[in-house]
Amino acid sequence: MKTSRRNFIKATGLGLASGNLLHGKTPPDKEDAAQAGKRLEKAHVQRFNMSGFAAPPLEKVRIAIIGLGNRGPGHLNVMSRIEGTEVRALCDIRPERVNAAKKRLAGTAHNPEVFTGPEDWKKVCERDDVDLVMITTPWYMHAAMAVYAMEHGKHAASEVPAAGTIEECWQLVETAERTRRHCMMMANTSYMSFQLLTLNMARQGFFGEVVHADCAYNTSKMRNNFSKTTYWDMWWLKQYAARRGNIYPTHGLGPVAQIMNINRGDKFEFLVSVESNDFMMNARARELAATDEFFKPFADKTYRGNMNVTTLRTTRGCTIMLQHDATSPSPHSMFHGIYGTKGAALYDPPPPRLSKGNHAWVSAEEFKALEEKYTPKIIRRMTELAAKTKAGHGGSDLLEDWRLIDCLRNGLPLDQDVYDAAAWSAVVPLSEWSVLNRSNSVDVPDFTAGAWKTNKPNMDINLEHGGNTKVVVSEKGQPKHESS
Q: What is the pLDDT of residue 388?
A: 61
User: Could you read off the pLDDT of 163-195 as tens digits, one per residue?
Assistant: 999 999 999 999 999 999 999 999 999 999 999
With CA atoms as reference, report the closest residue to 281 among 247, 261, 306: 306
- Residue 309's pLDDT band, with cuts at 50, 70 and 90, is very high
Backbone angles phi, psi at 305, to 5 degrees: -70, 165
Amino acid at 172: L
Quick check: 10 pLDDT over 60?
Answer: no
| Mean pLDDT, residues 406-423 taken together | 98
User: Could you read off the pLDDT of 326-354 as tens digits, one per residue?
Assistant: 999 988 899 999 999 999 999 998 999 99
Side-chain half-sphere of 478: how many Cα atoms within 13 Å? 3
Quick check: 221 pLDDT over 70?
Answer: yes
Q: Strand 210-218 relative to strand 336-340: parallel, antiparallel, unpaired? A: antiparallel
- 19-28, 70-79, 385-394: segment of lowest average pLDDT: 19-28
- Residue 472's pLDDT band, with cuts at 50, 70 and 90, is confident
- Residue 363's pLDDT band, with cuts at 50, 70 and 90, is very high
Q: What is the pLDDT of residue 242?
A: 96
With CA atoms as reference, report the closest residue to 80 among 317, 408, 444, 398: 398
d(CA 318, CA 214): 12
| Mean pLDDT, residues 293-310 taken together | 97
User: Could you read off the pLDDT of 248-268 as tens digits, one per residue?
Assistant: 999 999 999 999 999 999 999
User: Could you read off the pLDDT of 60-99 as tens digits, one per residue?
Assistant: 999 999 999 999 999 999 999 999 999 999 999 999 999 9
Judged on CB neighbours under 10 Å (0-12, 13-18, 19+), 45 is: exposed
Quick check: 28 pLDDT over 60?
Answer: no
- In the three-class reduction of DSSP (H, G, I as helix; E, B as strand; rest coil), residue 403 is classed as helix
Q: What is the pLDDT of residue 58?
A: 98
CB 4 within 8 Å of CB 39: no
Compute the mean pLDDT over every residue in the chain, rounded to the nearest whole number: 89
Quick check: 26 pLDDT over 90?
Answer: no
Backbone angles phi, psi at 323, to 5 degrees: -120, 155
Query: Which residues, listed in sequence order, are joined to residue 66 by a DSSP beta bridge?
Result: 91, 135
- Residue 391's pLDDT band, with cuts at 50, 70 and 90, is low
CA distances from 46 to 51, 119, 121, 171, 420 (A): 11, 32, 29, 13, 15
DSSP assignment letter at 233: G
- Residue 394's pLDDT band, with cuts at 50, 70 and 90, is confident
Name all domains of the chain by residue range, CATH numbers in brackets: 189-378+418-453 (3.30.360.10)
Q: What is the pLDDT of residue 474?
A: 57
